[in-house]
Amino acid sequence: MDLIRRRSHATLPLIISLITVISVSFAANVTVPQVRLPLMAKPPTIDGRVVEMEWAAATRMVGFCKGATLAPLEASFWVGCDGKELFIAVVSETPPGGKVLSRFNLLPGDTDARTWLDDSIEMVIDPFHSGPAEKRKLYHANINAKGAIHDTAYQVGGNAEAWRGNWRTVSQMIGDAWHFEVALPLKDMGVDAVSPNTTFGIRVCRNWHQTPLASQTEWSPLGGAYLSPETIPVVTWDPAAPVAQTLQLTDPHRKGAHIVLSLMNPTDKPITVKAALHFTPKSSQPVIVSQAITIQPGQTMPVELRGSALNEDIHTILRVTSSDEKIVYYSRDFQWRLERPDAVWTADASASRKITTQFAYYPSFNKIHLRLDVSALENKEQITAARTELRRKGEAKPIAARDMPAFDKSVSELFWDIPSLGEGVYELAAKLTGVEAQPEKQTFVRHVFPWEGNKLGKSDIVVPPFTPITVQGNAVSAVLRKHTLSPLGLFAQVESVGRPLLKQPIRLEIASSGKTAQVQGTNFRFAEKKATKVVTTGDWSGGGLKGTARSEWDYDGMMKWTLSIFPSTQSVDAMTLVIPLDATLMPLMHTCTDGIRFNYAGNAPMGQGRVWDGSKAPRNSIIGSYVPYIWVGAEERGLAVFGENDRGWVTSPDVPCQELVRKGDTLELRLHLIAKPTRVDAPRQILIGFQATPTKPMPKNWRRWYGSYAMQPLPDTQKTSFIGSCWSWGALTPCLDVYPRDEDLTFWEKLKETKQTGVVDEEYLKNWIAGFPAADSRQEKSIVDHNRYPFHVMKGKPTDVVSYTNARGVRFDTREGQTFLDEWHRDAFTTRDWPVGGGVAYDLNPGESFRDYALWYYKKMYMTFTDHIYWDDIFMQSDFDPIGTEAYRLADGNTQPASGLFDMRELIRRTRILYHELGRTGCLNQPHITNTAIAPILSFAGSHLTWEDRAGTQDFQDRFPRDYIRAESTGRQHGNVSFALLLLHGTEKESKEKVDWIKRTAAGVLLVHEMRHFGPIKDQDDNLKTLYEYGYGLDGVQVYNYWDDNLPIVLSRKDAVHLIATKPGSALVLVVDYGEGGEVIVAPDLKRLGISGTVTAVDTESGQPVAVDSKGEVRLDLKKHDFGLIRIEGEEQ
């Protein structure tokens, strides 16, 4: 399909022309796209109609890649720049009639919309790709056809920050094509001017939601993470370059290959280039067109290739270089096919409905949420009423009936309490009066299950290593922490591992009529005191307002504080909660919003005054500046402040919900509960969570735990074995199930049998595998491999098996899923039609009924084959359910979502208690935390998995800065053993030596931060074995981290870090380079270490001696990002 009219090109004389047809072997290797072109003399008009001549000075591409292969969907895109703005245009096909999926509107302020759920254009811009590392950021945006935007800025190898570009974007549907144009000021990305030969990284992507042929497609054929700098296409702004454009790959109707590449010279001098087009089918005859061309100023010249292929992959290279091939002007290569499937679109058939009915059924709450939208009905103004009835399907008599509220802007919405429903199929019918319309009918099921309302994991007990919560005077103590309370139930002081965290008591201030008053608490008392729970209550007044304050404590030290504000006739200007922290104990910071891989972790910002506020935190769907989780502290000690959302707050776009303010050695965390002049005319409640860290001690002998399956056990070590998907315990799907295929638990019983005996029942396994649906050879191999793998693990009779589950994934095609769909899905409404195995991997909220469901099967897992539970995806996720969560409707009609923090916490908490109820000890339950180390969620875990992030070929020192690891990764704040999932995607084309080196950098970073990994890394395993043989992790061997005070061994360089293990008379020192390499002087305090006589040092990997001077200082040479493990000891004279 020709999406835009092509320009005609006259055939111009060629200086040198060589067209050959030769035999070439099929090659599937692809490379990063490259382009050089001048800045545009005239910018295009951004009006949503892509006109070829307006974009003649921009580079042009045809097709987007799905991996290395072009998706069989018609699309073209353009990239250009005039030195002031960056311009991108995309023209892509749509279902008939231009029915692009575009559900989300532009939200107020800088609030990000969930545009990735729509058909959208996604961009990643790296404007300092060739510039200094300290200025380099990746600017990511996703924009739909309505102009709704989701954008964020990312540091390369670092954190993300909230960012909103001044995008000018317009879309139009022209025929069966979506025309998208966008302009972005360069100054929004910190670019003041574009110097000649400046290189940008630019990734352009088209996301599709109405076709089975592709979902995410992009310019680069290398795939992988969109934020990976190694695979991002590069564009160099070269004033002496031609403009190259791919105009087409085929003639209309795709009858054969007809590649047309256009070369235009916008400069005032002739340009001589070499153009090469390679067309290499897997089986058919390849064609190469190679031409040396001189393009006169103002001239446009085509290069064409014709070829044929039949139902086979075609590797195509389009390349334009200088005549000596030293400068690349245009390079793109990919695989593709001439043919494409007949079935292209799966457009939503309900899009043409005149009446839109949405409903949600909540079995646990006996409620229905119903929404009627008649905006597409021509005679909607004639509607006089609407009524809904609930009945068993096939029965005439309704179980319940209710009049709908009056229509407001063509919408009527009802929250309806209904009778408890038993087993059966039900029908919900909505009928309009005053117009001719058939009743809107919706069918749903209610199945009743034995697991509903179970008490698993709900015993009122204290599980180790926690200790009973105690009260002495006004002090509430939990393990490792003591909290002295004020009359408001807030902290007057918090002591964590013996150190006070606050400079002053937490205070609540109210500003009114130009004066600020501190709220005073009265009638404070302990309403409940027991080993597992403490509750305080009290009254307060100040600034003309009154109310109550209640705190509720769990025995892990988490406190929920609820501030109730009574209605008042007096207006107040502001209410602020001030938390004055000791800045010397707060070098680190971690904030989390509703998502993953963009949350900040690292050094707390320096300076005086306001150093941070919530508007800087990136987010997905949270409206405004509220941040659900803020932690400040050090490697262990700290304070977390958190909540579901800003419900009950009075917010202002001009005042951030939260901010950090430095005043000398005090770091104030300020929560602006009322941020603008307000009269409280109705009761308000605000819930805020507090938890000091560490939440529990590290497990006994935790340093002796490891996860590499290639490492043989040593005495007093604990090896964990990981079963990494639902497939590997017999499920139909990889990440959505909680029981095996067909709910046949014999698979788990057989795993238990193999774990006990070391013998696999091959006949059973053969029959089990045969029970899966018919599959092609590739799928069949996958089924065999995944189902055999756990038996391979169990043959070794492992003692600590960690088994995969997904805390945000569930199937909705099952009886359970069809019944509890609306309670579990995070959207207010969703479809009830799911294919076999269909469900969501990231959109489940683990509310109470899901926890009942999951724990029912967790118990069966524990009783058969697994020792510990692993949860994928425990990050906070926006939940728009207005019945089962704290989501609420804002005044402008938008929904402020809940974050799901407390529901996720309760899933992990109940599982820990279930573990104890079953008589088990040594809990290793493992959440996957990547970029979301949230104290109240992780408190009841035993370990965690992090770092499924930042893939590529970078050294690990460049991927994960030290401050990031100390704030997010080590597990010390939560008493959890830390495991890492190392992404080496993108290394497939690297040499073995390069990959081994990347793994070695990972080993050094992991070892020095005392983190473990699953899977073999030889350098980690070998050096960990050396440490274990020395006694590391056992009583009698003292361990120091590089961030500890008063170290017995110091280093000469700040860009090198070390881990020390020592026993009287010797020490092992692991030294890791985080800089550019060079000599490191390792200076031991010989007296403290008990080393006497002549000091010797040996490199434990090579066995070779290391130079020691007369002072006993060791001189170690390291290349960039390498490490060394040195044994230091004394020899008697």
- What mean pLDDT comes out for the span 644-665? 97
What is the distance of C-alpha 914 from the center of its chain?
Answer: 29
State pTM to two decimals: 0.90
Cis status, amide bond into 1105, omega within 30 of 0:
no
- What mean pLDDT comes out for the span 626-642? 98
Please, which pLDDT band fits residue 28 given cuts at 50, 70 and 90? low
Q: Which fold has domain 45-237?
A: Immunoglobulin-like (2.60.40)
Residue carrying the six token digits 């199929």: 425
Please, which pLDDT band fits residue 951 given cuts at 50, 70 and 90? confident
CATH of 1036-1131, one of 3.40.640.10, 1.25.40.10, 2.60.40.1180, 3.20.20.70: 2.60.40.1180
How far is it, in rounded angstroms, from Cα 1111 to Cα 1109?
5
1123 is written with which tokens?
């490490």
Do 45-237 and 470-693 come out as alike in CATH topology? no
pLDDT for the residue 987: 61
Pairing assessment for the beta strands 609-613 and 658-663 based on DSSP bridges: antiparallel
Among 339-348, 688-697, 747-756, 830-839, which is the least confidently predicted range?
A: 339-348
pLDDT tens for 422-446 read 999 999 999 999 998 888 889 999 9
pLDDT for the residue 1132: 56
Please, which pLDDT band fits residue 629 given cuts at 50, 70 and 90? very high
Among 26-30, 91-95, 489-493, which is the least confidently predicted range?
A: 26-30
Cis status, amide bond into 694, omega within 30 of 0:
yes
CB burial class (10 A; 0-12, 13-18, 19+) of residue 1037?
middle
Q: Is pLDDT at 230 greater than 60 in this prediction?
A: yes
Instruction: Indicate the domain borders of the chain.
Output: 15-38+239-339, 45-237, 354-446, 470-693, 704-720+800-1013, 1036-1131
pLDDT for the residue 253: 73
936 contacts 640 by C-beta, under 8 angstroms = yes
pLDDT for the residue 771: 92
pLDDT for the residue 163: 94
Task: Tell which residue, 630, 631, 634, has the closest CA to residue 585.
Answer: 634
pLDDT tens for 977-1019 read 999 999 876 666 678 899 999 999 999 999 999 999 988 899 9
Which CATH number applies to 470-693?
2.70.98.30
pLDDT for the residue 354: 72
CB burial class (10 A; 0-12, 13-18, 19+) of residue 1087?
exposed
How far is it, in rounded angstroms, from Cα 368 to Cα 358?
10
pLDDT for the residue 895: 95
Which CATH number applies to 15-38+239-339?
2.60.40
pLDDT for the residue 3: 35
SS3 at position 862: helix
pLDDT for the residue 353: 60
Tell me the DSSP string of 268-335. Answer: SS-EEEEEEEEEEESSS--EEEEEEEEE-TT-EEEEEEEE--SSS-EEEEEEEEETTS-SEEEEEEEE
Rg (the chain; Cα; Å): 32
pLDDT for the residue 709: 81
1002 contacts 968 by C-beta, under 8 angstroms = no
pLDDT for the residue 105: 87
pLDDT for the residue 636: 97
CATH of 354-446, one of 1.20.1070.10, 2.60.40.1930, 3.30.200.20, 3.40.50.1950: 2.60.40.1930
How far is it, in rounded angstroms, from Cα 430 to Cα 440?
5
- What mean pLDDT comes out for the span 1036-1049? 97
Among 251-260, 606-615, 979-988, which is the least confidently predicted range?
A: 979-988
pLDDT tens for 818-875 read 999 999 999 999 999 999 999 999 999 999 999 999 999 999 999 999 999 999 999 9
Long-range contacts of 351-356 (CB under 8 A, 24+ apart): 351/99, 354/378, 354/437, 355/432, 355/437, 355/440
pLDDT tens for 330-384 read 999 999 999 988 888 886 554 446 788 999 999 999 999 999 999 888 888 999 9
Q: Is pLDDT at 943 greater than 60 in this prediction?
A: yes
Higher per-residue pLDDT: 11 or 244: 244
Q: Is pLDDT at 15 greater than 60 in this prediction?
A: no
Beta bridge partners of 437: none
614 is written with which tokens?
């919530």
How far is it, in rounded angstroms, from Cα 604 to Cα 584?
11
946 contacts 930 by C-beta, under 8 angstroms = yes
pLDDT tens for 270-329 read 999 999 999 999 999 999 999 999 999 999 999 999 999 988 999 999 999 999 999 999
Which CATH number applies to 704-720+800-1013?
3.20.20
